[in-house]
Structure 1
Amino acid sequence: MKAAKYNLPYTEDKRIIDIVGEHSIFTVVDKFGRVEYANSNFCTTLGINLKEVLGEPLKILESPLHSGLLYKNLWKSIKAKEKWNGVLQAKNINDVNIWLDTTIIPIEKEHKLVYLIVFKDVTEIHQKNIVLLNEQKSKKVFLKSIPFHVFSITKYGKILKVNKQFLDTEARNVVGTYIYDYISFSCYDIFKTNIYTAFKNKKTKHFKFYDFDFKGAKSYYRAVISPNFNEIGEVVSLTLCVNDVTDFIEIDKKEQEREAKYRLIYKSIDVGIIVVANSAGKIKEWNKGAELAFGYKEKEILGRPFAILTTEKNRERNIKELLTAVEKLEDNKNVDIIELQCLRKNGEEFPVEFTLSSLTINGKTSYCAMMLDISKRKTLENKLQEKTEDLESFLYRSAHDLRAPFASAQGLLNLLKEEKDINKAQEIVKMLDTTINNGKLLSNKLLEASVISAKKHEYRRIDFSKIIRNVLIKLRNASNIENIDFSIDVDVPKNYKTKPELIISLFRSLIQNAIQFSRPIENGYVPKIEVVVKKVKKHIVIEINDNGIGIEKKNISKIFNLYYKSNNDNCSGSGLGLYIVKSIVEGLEGDIKVKSSVAENSGTSFKIKLPYSNK
């Protein structure tokens, strides 16, 4: 709309303006909203002095930068030189809110654009409207808050009014339809009978019915129909109240049996760990798997906080992860698998993989924690990491150690080619023979280690006595063996099954180790090696004892490391023997322990326990 042009007197015509505006509230501002004139009614309404506001921005107009939509439109009209009308809020000198119906009119006077702003005080009307709106809102909220549906219907079942949405249909769309549109055919008779009786007898009727939804779920309802009368006592409509009471109906026998079956199955599951807690974190359900994992009986744990199942040092971190999972569930997001460090009743720590789900029953939310004990997996992961590191070291050291004998042999051959003296040549040949034998020994050990790692062996019945005899025959050329006193004691059933190749390697490495670290005969000392094999309960126990030079206490923990060698200058070796032994024992799911002392006549004792199997 193009701005209308008015001829309005300016400040110098104040007397005329006061006469015109005697019963009006108005002011004049420039295009920036600065006051050029304000009449006495305006000053009185806001409780201000004219001199204080002349030349100042009119506060009621706010600023062009104001974010409110009302003020954006207001200033948009001012800039477009258009008329604007709306209700603005202001505060008088006593800081009391007042509302003014405001009309802004652009006026061109002597080539200057100004704005006449006419106000009407509508504070009283506005406050009454607020009261009415609040009352109306309260009524709507009350009707919607009623836990059942209330209909006003005719005697034919046509819906005249409804208090809230019904069966996913908005209230406004329900009006004008028929109550029979929302119930199944099986319920028609009970509704027709009670509607007819209420109209005819002019009395309230109570009845119950059940219905099925489109998924086949059964729901139970209670209904009340009351007549509505006109001034002469005629029934003009009915008020129908329908209340879904499914949650309050007592569970029948089949439901009770189903519930009992569920609880029996849930309680008896011992494969997984299932713990149910309420929204306060208190444990309310506890299955057999949880009892076996944590060691608490149900009566000991129910009602206690879930945090008691986590380790104290990790509790703060665990609680944060649980709260994050709960927040994700509340936002309908997927919950990631969490790894927690848990605590058994006996104080033992163990790791679990943990996932959380929520369920709501009768408006109360519970959280179901499903856990899996991953102790074995963690142990395997740690062993895998160790084996990976060993393999990397094995590859590096093998390449290095295999190069050494070849390099030595090459150097000796070069010397041999140039040597003229037959005696010196024979010495070089002996050195060359030793170098080749060392290289052969190393390559055999590497081959043995690789064969063991491959684990491609079958279980067969073995004869321990025969294996030990064959090992001693193959070691007959070992240094000092002719001076050693061997004692062999085997007491094991002939039906024991294991992997023969691995047992042979085990005995060869341990007996060879005992021979290598034996002491020479002197001052009445005789080197001895004792081999004992026996069955103890569900295990085969192998003991190899010697009275050799022993192992220093600080080195005992290192002897099974890959490529570990003794500092004894008189003893040579590949550093693979005992590493191979431990790998064999672990591969057979056994255990190996060592005791040793460097004291005279003490020596070293290896004790191995292997699970007994004859299948």
Structure 2
Amino acid sequence: MSASPKSSNAHSSRLEAVLNTVIDGIITINNRGLIQSFNPSAVRIFGYSPEEVIGQNVKMLMPEPYHSGHDGYLSNYFSTGDKQIIGKGREVEAQRKDGSVFAMELGVNEMDIDGETMFVGTIRDISDRISAEQALKENQAKLQAIVDNTVDGLITIDQGGRIETFNKACETIFGYRANEVIEQNVKILMPNPYHREHDSYLSNYHNTGEKRIIGTGRQVEGRRKNGDIFPLDLSVSEVHVHGRKLYSGIVRDITDRKNAEEEIRQANAELEEFSYRTSHDLRSPLVSSIRLLDIVEESIRVDDKEKALMSSALIQKSLRQLESLVKDILTLTQAKNESEELEEINIESLIVDTLTKLKHMDNFERLNIDLSMKFDSTLWSKKNRMMLIIENLLSNAVKYQDLNKENSFINISTYLDCNNFTLKISDNGLGIPKNQQAQLFQMFKRFHPKTAFGSGLGLYMMKKSVDVLGGEIYFKDNDNGCTFIFTLPVR
């Protein structure tokens, strides 16, 4: 039995009511691409009235390149049967009446009505969603840029201790690329005992809730990719993301700060030592001279000329020692405060001039001095610092020669070694006592006080100058004298 006209009309009315109330735009076109129907949601989406579009080619609703390619697509479909979007849904662009282009989801199906092929397109305006997604992506990009450009390292780990995020600062601090540590246990960044205890600490926290560092900050040690151990500040927070428990750690490499603190500690210790020793060493020759002056005065009164002259000689010696100490103190003060520019230095001339200045020293004439100057490159450095280093090394070799040996020598050589200027000075003098070699460059260390007077500041000042120049100095015990090797990168 066929449906009555009344029931058919009712059915059509219901379908029309549905098409008129759905939020999606619905458009039908014929096999030539001409619009046959345009529901109210399509009117709202595109801004055209039905009268403006019915009978028009649907490509009027499309921007390029869809506009130019649409007729060819239909023709190709009817010729080959090749479906590109029919029966599928995808995101494309459309164009409103005002010319604005927007994103939409399009679903197209083919239908047959009274033997005629028709196409129905379902359209949903997703421009708000795309804008929201774009805004989210932009916010995520901004957040990632902030995280990547922070000075501090940022690491997140899961409950099992596996690394989930590792920002660029962490790459700089630890030396790993992010892809080398993601999914690895975070203890890869820790030396013992932290490496050994980390898993048990996490397990204990999950079981008991006992927090040790979570929510607080403290100083710990990290381990770089190359194995170096370094100090770092660590603060750990617990965060919950989409029902998951994560741990966020902020790390800061405090190597420079620790080094600075150590330098300050050493400087304070040196200042304390300097104050004590200078007050003692300055006072001693003064007290001695005052007492000797009393003896001179008494000797003159009783007409003991010989005793007066002997006491005067002792006073001269004490005052020379005082003068030498004051000179070294002034040199030390100047060296600490001096700001000196780099200049081109003729090393051979500097060494020869220094030897000439040292000829007045006792027993200089008995030394056999051998020069081997093979360094012929340009050396740019701080001349006064270089002079201080060379004068200390050579004057010590002259001053502390072994007078019990018939043949005393000093061998001086310069050469280029692995792009480093190298100065090597060897002698067969008294050397440095083995039990005091660890104190070689300390302030006020005198290794042969009975042989010659010295302030104990010479080697200390020399080492400080070597450090300022960015060089290195090495000592070798020859069992029959000693060797000093000074190296400096060639600039």
TM-score (norm 1): 0.51
Q: Which residue in the other structure is 2:273 paired with?
A: 393
- Equivalent residue number for residue 85 of structure 2: none
Checking the alignment, whether the CA contact within 8 Å between 1:552 and 1:597 is kept in structure 2 is: no
- Per the alignment, do residues 307 and 539 of structure 1 end up closer, same or farther by CA in structure 2, a change over 3 Å counting? same
1:109-138 superposed Cα distances (whole Å, 9 cap, x missing partner): xxxxxxxxxxxxxxxxxxxxxxxxxxxxxx
The answer for the alignment partner of 1:603 in structure 2 is 481
* Aligned-partner SS, 1:570: coil
- Residue 192 of structure 2: aligned partner: 312
Is the 8 Å Cα contact of residues 460 and 498 (structure 1) preserved in structure 2?
Answer: yes
1:486 to 339, 344, 369: 369
AA of the residue aligned to 2:462: V
The whole-number CA distance in structure 2 between the counterparts of 1:426 and 1:527 is 34
SS in 2 for 1:457: coil
Specify the code of the residue in structure 2 equivalent to 1:610: L
Q: Does 2:400 align with 1:517?
A: yes
Question: SS of the residue aligned with 1:312?
Answer: coil
What is the CA–CA distance in structure 2 between the aligned matches of 1:508 and 1:586, rounded to whole Å? 17
Rounded to whole Å, the distance in 1 between the matches of 2:152 and 2:134 is 30
Change (3 A) 1:287 1:363: same
* 2:442 is aligned with 1:561: yes
Separation in 1, partners of 2:138, 2:220: 36
Distance 1:270 1:609, change over 3 A: farther
Equivalent in the alignment of 2:423: 542
Q: Residue by residue, what CA displacement relative to the aligned partner does 1:312-341 show, whole Å, maximum 9, x if unpaired? A: 225689869994553x3xxxxxx54x3221
Confirm whether residue 412 of structure 1 aligns to residue 292 of structure 2.
Answer: yes
Q: 1:297, 1:467 → 2: CA distance?
A: 49
Asked if the contact 1:274/1:286 (under 8 Å) is kept, the reply is yes
What is the match of residue 433 of structure 2? 552
C-alpha change, 1:455 and 1:373, in structure 2 (3 Å) is: farther
Write out per-residue CA displacement over residues 158-184 of structure 1, whole angstroms, 9 at most, x where no aligned residue.
Answer: xxxxxxxxxxxxxxxxxxxxxxxxxxx
Whether 1:452 aligns to 2:330 is no
Contact 1:462 1:494 in 2 (8 A): no
Change beyond 3 A, Cα 1:596–1:385: same
Helix, strand or coil at the partner of 2:297: helix
Q: Which residue of 2 aligns with 1:427?
A: 310
Which amino acid letter does the alignment assign opposite residue 485 of structure 1?
Answer: N
Q: Which amino acid aligns with 1:304?
A: Q
Indicate the residue corresponding to 1:504 in structure 2: 387
Distance 2:311 2:151 in 1: 69
Output aligned runs, 1:73-222, within 5 Å. none
Q: Tell me by how many angstroms 1:263 deviates.
A: 5.5
Cα distance in 2 between the residues matched to 1:295 and 1:596: 39
Aligned length: 356
1:579 aligns with 2:453: no
Q: Is the 8 A contact 1:405 1:438 kept in 2?
A: yes
Stretches of structure 1 that go unaligned for 5 or more consecutive residues are: 1-188, 191-247, 329-334
For the residues of structure 2 that align with 1:282 and 1:609, how far apart are their CA atoms?
A: 46
| Residue identity matched to 1:584 | S
1:366-381 map, 5 Å: 366-381=246-261
> Which residue pairs with 2:474 in the alignment?
593
Cα 1:271–1:529, aligned 2, differ >3 Å: closer, same or farther?
farther
Query: How far is the alpha carbon of 1:578 from its aligned partner?
Result: 1.0
* SS of match in other structure, 2:193: helix
Whole-angstrom distance in 2 between the partners of 1:377 and 1:610: 26
Structure 1 residues 551, 464: CA separation in 2 closer, same or farther (over 3 Å shift)? same
Counterpart-to-counterpart distance in 2, 1:323 and 1:540? 55
Partner of 2:413, secondary structure, is: strand
User: Take 1:266 and 1:489, find their aligned partners in 2: how far apart are those partners?
Assistant: 58
Post-superposition CA distance 1:452-504 (Å, at most 9, x none): 22243333332222322332232222121111122334455675332222221
Q: Is the 8 A contact 2:238 2:246 kept in 1?
A: yes
The change in CA–CA distance for 1:354 and 1:593 in structure 2 (over 3 A counts) is: same
1:558 CA drift (Å): 1.1
Q: Whose relative contact order is higher, 1 or 2, with alpha carbons under 8 Å and at least 6 apart?
A: 2
Whether the 8 Å contact between 1:276 and 1:369 is mirrored in structure 2 is: yes
- TM-score normalised to structure 2 length: 0.63
Q: How does 1:357-372 map to 2 (within 5 A)?
A: 361-372=241-252
Task: Tell me if structure 2 keeps the 8 A contact 1:538–1:611.
Answer: yes
Map residues 201-280 of structure 1 onto 2, 5 A cutoff: 252=133, 255-256=136-137, 259=140, 272-280=152-160
Equivalent of 2:264, from 384, 390, 399? 384
Aligned-residue sequence identity (percent) comes to 25
- Say if 1:559 and 1:565, in contact at 8 Å, map to a contact too: no
Secondary structure of 1:417's counterpart equals helix
Aligned-residue offset at 1:421? 2.5
Residue identity matched to 2:489? P
Q: Which amino acid aligns with 2:469?
A: L
Aligned alpha-carbon RMSD (Å): 3.6
Provide structure 2 residue ranges, at least 5 long, that are not aligned to the other structure. 1-43, 46-128
Supply the distance in 2 between the matched residues of 1:479 and 1:354 (Cα, whole angstroms).
61
Distance in 1 (CA, whole Å) between partners of 2:464 and 2:268 is 13
Q: Which residue of 1 aligns with 2:230?
A: 350
Q: Find the structure with the greater CA-based Rg.
A: 1
State the shift of 1:342 in Å: 1.1
Separation (CA, whole Å) in 2 of partners of 1:519 and 1:555: 18
Match of 2:411 among 530, 548, 552: 530
Q: 1:357 to 1:531 in 2, by over 3 A?
A: farther
* Deviation readout 1:182-230 (Å, 9 max, x if unpaired): xxxxxxx99xxxxxxxxxxxxxxxxxxxxxxxxxxxxxxxxxxxxxxxx
Shift of 1:399: 0.8
**Do the aligned partners of 2:433 and 2:447 also contact (CA within 8 Å) in 1?**
no
- Are the aligned partners of 1:553 and 1:597 in contact in 2 as well (CA < 8 Å)? no
Secondary structure of the residue aligned to 1:415 is: helix
d(CA) in 2 for partners of 1:568 and 1:576?
13
Which residue is equivalent to 1:98? none
Distance 2:488 2:256 in 1: 19
CA contact (8 A) 1:552 1:596 kept: no
Mapped partners of 2:186, 2:309: distance in 1: 81
Greater CA drift, 571-580 or 361-370: 361-370
